[in-house]
């Protein structure tokens, strides 16, 4: 059985004044990639995650798309 999952967390500081989005990508119960809006890019934790992080960080549209999700947390 193969499992692919992603989990998004909206973290609030001072109400909606400061919002942080953390998205975790998990494959077979192992977190291999994460996006943190405070860091502003993807970070890989495994060889597969590092490969995807490098690819997705080089695509500004993908990074901007993830950053735009911070506004969704506010609403």
The string of pLDDT tens digits covering residues 24-73 is 999 999 999 999 999 999 999 999 999 999 999 999 999 999 988 888 88
pTM: 0.85
Asked if 13 contacts 74 with a C-beta cutoff of 8 angstroms, the reply is: no
The architecture (CATH level 2) of 4-73 comes to Roll (3.10)
pLDDT, tens digit (0-9, with 9 covering 90-100), for 2-27 = 899 999 999 998 887 889 999 999 99
pLDDT at 34: 97
CA atoms within 13 A on the CB side of 75: 4
């Amino acid at each position: 059985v193969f499992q692919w999952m992603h989990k998004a967390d909206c973290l609030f500081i001072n109400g909606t004044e400061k919002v942080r989005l953390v998205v975790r990508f998990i494959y077979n119960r192992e977190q291999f990639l994460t996006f943190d809006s405070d860091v502003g890019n993807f970070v890989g934790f495994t060889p597969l995650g590092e490969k995807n992080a490098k690819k997705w960080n080089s695509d500004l549209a993908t990074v901007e798309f993830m950053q735009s999700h911070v506004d969704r947390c506010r609403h």
